[in-house]
Amino acid sequence: MLKLSNKSANAWRALQRQCAAGMATAAPRIGDTKVPMSLLEKDAFINYQRIEDNLEVVRARLQRPLTLSEKILYGHLDDPHGQDITRGVSYLKLRPDRVACQDATAQMALLQFMSAGMDTAAVPTTVHCDHLIEAQVGGVKDLDRAININKEVYDFLATATAKYGLGFWKPGSGIIHQIILENYAFPGGLMIGTDSHTPNAGGLGMIACGVGGADAVDVMAGIPWELKCPKVIGVNLTGKIGGWTTPKDVILKVAGILTVKGGTGAIVEYFGPGVESLSCTGMATICNMGAEIGATTSLFPYNNRMGDYLKATNRGNIADYAQSFSHNLRADKGAEYDQVIDINLSELEPHVNGPFTPDLATPISKFAEEAKKNGWPEEIKVGLIGSCTNSSYEDLGRSASIVQQALDHGLNFKSKFTVTPGSEQVRATIARDGYVGTFEEAGAVVLANACGPCIGQWDRKDVKKGEKNTIVTSYNRNFTGRNDANPATHAFVTSPDLTTAFALAGSLSFNPLTDSLTGADGKPFKLAEPSSNELPPLGYDPGENTFQPPPADRTSVNVAVSPTSDRLQLLKPFPPWDGKTPKDLPILIKVKGKCTTDHISAGGPWLKYRGHLENISQNCLIGAINIENNEANKVKNQLTGEYGPVPKTAAYYRDHGVKWVVIGDHNYGEGSSREHAALEPRFLGGLAIITRSFARIHETNLKKQGMLALTFVDPADYDRVLPSDKVSILGLESFAPGKNLTLLVKHENGTTEEIPLAHSFNEGQIEWFKAGSALNLMAAKAKGKQA
């Protein structure tokens, strides 16, 4: 537990006096006011009273000032009196306000929810169709094609949401995180979502965490959500943002400081006077990309910029309610952080991050030099703006202002250029206000309101696979092959402003802050600083209504799942642990280097199988590099001696009654929250994933599915295990929290050695392992209650 400095102790006593004074005047209870969480859920109300009541208990226990994230988290505790609260140690039991699922992950989440035997979701829940629309030729045609190709999945989602009382956002609605920001996010709320960029809602002062589908099922079933009590990283923003520097550059800078794993196990909390110069959607951008540093989530304190956005999206009542609760929507004076990063926005340069990783941060003043030194392809083939990270009205307006300058000088894009609106509301508004016309006049293609190329849904034709090339995006993630499945594509992440300027110049060596373009008249000109209204002066145009509320009578709704489908498959329970010590298990693959969830369960064309576990398991670990031969998807079958694909080898072991393990490197499972990366190895007969370290969401997902997620006590012991070894896991008969297990390694030459293994399982998670999965345990308990 954190120790109080004298300064903090004095602040705590002052806070106690303020609270006592407030109690003496018998102020009305915050809960006396009833404000709906959204315009679409009139019977679900914001529960500030719970936060107020919980914090009264927690403050008395901890006797110290609280950070903003602590206030919101502890304000949602299931048991504030008995909950152990130690940052980085305790497992908190929390009661989220809502759940959000995107269509690719919702399929498995809903299939699991159906297996749990519930008839309605315990908290407001929505499903958003944004992942299954492939970018090919343009918005309307791509959407029509997706609706036709994915009809079976969309019908399942539409009927399942109707059956279980969930809100359903149809294809074309927009990207889940933008829809949440426009309709559901509210200051002080707690939400979980089955997508790693759920923290986008932190732009409205909400703690929003990416999780696997099994976590979502727990909350939908009325079970408290479990989260390891996060540490808190503070980012103190001073100065004022302006010029070519954007909110995106804040998180690009932070990513360079913390790296892709520096935020693991922590919430990143922004504060300081510089916050006031950021728009609400700009704050959302920063929180969104916090997923790239492994952070549990990120958030900002409530301010007038959030209030303005709430009012612009017809939620002025929430803005007023939040203002009345603002004392709990900011950190206490004297609150202490585990780490503090200082950033002066007035001095912050625009940044470009990449290639191949989102934490390789380079300021624009040094970028051309770095590109030349590293041999990055100078010609930019494609510039892509939009996505869940940067597709607000302000973002697209600033880009349009840059494009208009080029048009005024007779120029079009030199690179191909695509625009992805974040929502139907944003699309309709930028069309009405002329931005779409500006983009298209310069040669851009406006894509569907969906994730598109950001998640690999891109039917790219301009380069061949394996051809070295450069793309620049305003997206959030740029792992190898992420956008176009081409491992030779050098993908760089930056702001929409720089992406647009780069695409007009067509070259990585162009710096719009110092360099000039040549107009059609042959004269050089410099681009002026981009500008845009933060919010549309004429208000938002809602566009087409694409929301399906649950029907009043759900009894007659039948969920559409065909037994012959290759897209959807009802789930069968995984077998429980047999109680025996696992002996002489083969190593399926010893993974070399970075292994993200993209490597473990690829996206792109595989997204269509997200509701069919058997089919999608054919992509299990096909992108991981085998340290034995430095090749992907080629491992040795230790039973036959033959080399073959990873999924085929895993299935061979399973079908012959042999469990297997994977050996992984640092930050194994970073990236998307996709629980398929845990479901697939479980389905194929895996028992344990043993690594130097895990990314938070993936580690939890593995536990939920009954897998052993274990780490080397000494990370250097990774080198002691050879791909040809057989291993035994000792100590499971006395499996207990905080007690190490032992890996008995048997080498080909007959020698053996023992390696200590750590784990982070608590008592409840150990029960998941013994039962075969968290869902098995839930179903057994539900059956016991019914009996």
Q: 195 catalytic, yes or no? A: yes
Q: From CA 388, how far away is CA 449, in angstroms rounded?
A: 10
Rounded (5°) CA angle 219-225-231: 145
Q: What is the token pair recorded at 215? A: 């976590």
Beta strands in 615-695 (DSSP E): 625-626, 631-632, 635-636, 643-644, 660-664, 686-691
Q: 672 catalytic, yes or no? A: yes
Q: Is 208 helix (H, G, I), strand (E, B) or coil?
A: strand
Please state the separation of Cα 278 from the chain's center in Å.
Answer: 22
353 bridge partner residues: 361, 493
295 within 8 A of 69, measured Cβ to Cβ: no
User: Pick from 439, 415, 377: which is nearest to 503 by CA?
Assistant: 415
Q: 53 catalytic, yes or no? A: no
Strands 231-238 and 339-344: parallel
Catalytic, out of 130, 215, 395, 484: 130
DSSP 141: H
186 within 8 A of 318, measured Cβ to Cβ: yes
Q: From CA 1, how far away is CA 85, in angstroms rounded?
A: 8
For 79: left if phi > 0, alpha if psi spans -120 to 50, otherwise beta; the answer is beta
Q: From CA 23, how far away is CA 305, in angstroms rounded?
A: 30
Catalytic, out of 103, 195, 359, 433: 195
Catalytic, out of 477, 482, 490, 599: 477
Catalytic, out of 95, 131, 482, 676: 131
Q: From CA 306, how far away is CA 322, in angstroms rounded?
A: 10
222 within 8 A of 211, measured Cβ to Cβ: no
Catalytic, out of 38, 672, 693, 773: 672
Q: From CA 408, how far away is CA 711, in angstroms rounded?
A: 59
Q: 477 catalytic, yes or no? A: yes
281 within 8 A of 381, measured Cβ to Cβ: no
Q: Which residues contact 375 (CB under 8 A, 6 or more apart)?
A: none
3-state secondary structure 601-620: ECCHHHHHHCECHHHHHHHE
| Other beta carbons within 10 Å of 43 | 7
Amino acid at 439: F
Strands 351-353 and 361-363: antiparallel
Q: 709 φ, ψ to 5°?
A: -105, 105
Strands 380-386 and 469-473: parallel
The catalytic site residues sit at 130-131, 195, 477, 672, 674
